Amino acid sequence: MAIKIHDFPLSGHAHRVRLFASLIGADVELVPVDLAAGEHKTPAYLQKNRFGQVPLLEDGDTLVADSHAILVYLAKKFDKTDWLPQDPAGAAAVQRWLSVAAGQIAFGPAAARLVTLFGANLDAAAAIERAHAVLAVIDAELGDHSFITGNGITIADIALYSYIASAPEGNVDLGPYGNIHRWLARIEALPGFVPFEQSNVGLRQSA
């Protein structure tokens, strides 16, 4: 039985999971969730995920909410120790960047995109400022190696990818970040890569 992923195409959180599943060749069934119609807030959905969010993984009787938790679940289930190192230093390095993805990325480029794409009532200027602060750090980190934790790709790269790649939709200019551009290209060249659906908002509106 295929693993089900409850999905929304414009969600970067959901794209992380779609992308990783494709890169490792996992057999998954995408189950669309109509956020506009409030499907994620129905009693049936909330029974599976009390936070009412996407993505949600359903593997038989196992339910896993949160995109980063799902990345870990898939890496463990399919024994992808290259994507999720088991040694203390390697595991800690991945966790560090998962925290960045859930923190500075979520409140920076992801938040800026929420304003332009969904009309979120957030401070766009502050989100853009936070985005550039974290992108500068990531760009510097990528000056030392090909991927965020070293020269091998991990789920940390996947956690960071979607909202960095879509940052221009939130009026965040990626122009100054050459190392990030090269890192994005490396990920996009991987067999099994699936792109994040682009929206004609922000800087892409005038591109």
Q: CA-to-CA distance for 115 and 136, rounded, in angstroms?
A: 22
Instruction: Examine the pLDDT at 206 and tell me if it is beyond 70.
Output: no
What does the pLDDT average to over 36-63?
93
Instruction: Examine the pLDDT at 174 and tell me if it is beyond 70.
Output: yes
Place 80 in a pLDDT band, splitting at 50, 70 and 90: very high
pLDDT of residue 171: 97
Q: CA-to-CA distance for 71 and 42, rounded, in angstroms?
A: 25
Instruction: Examine the pLDDT at 7 and tell me if it is beyond 70.
Output: yes
Fold classification of 88-204 is Glutathione S-transferase Yfyf (Class Pi); Chain A, domain 2 (1.20.1050)
The model scores a pTM over 0.75 = yes
DSSP H helices, 119-154, are: 124-141
Closest by Cα among 135, 187, 127 to 161: 187
Q: Which CATH superfamily is domain 3-77 in?
A: Glutaredoxin (3.40.30.10)
pLDDT of residue 156: 98
pLDDT tens sequence across 82-103: 999 999 999 999 999 999 999 9
Whether the CB-CB separation of 148 and 158 falls below 8 Å is answered with no
Instruction: Examine the pLDDT at 67 and tell me if it is beyond 70.
Output: yes
The helix/strand/coil state of 41 is helix
Q: Which residue ranges make up each domain of the chain? A: 3-77, 88-204
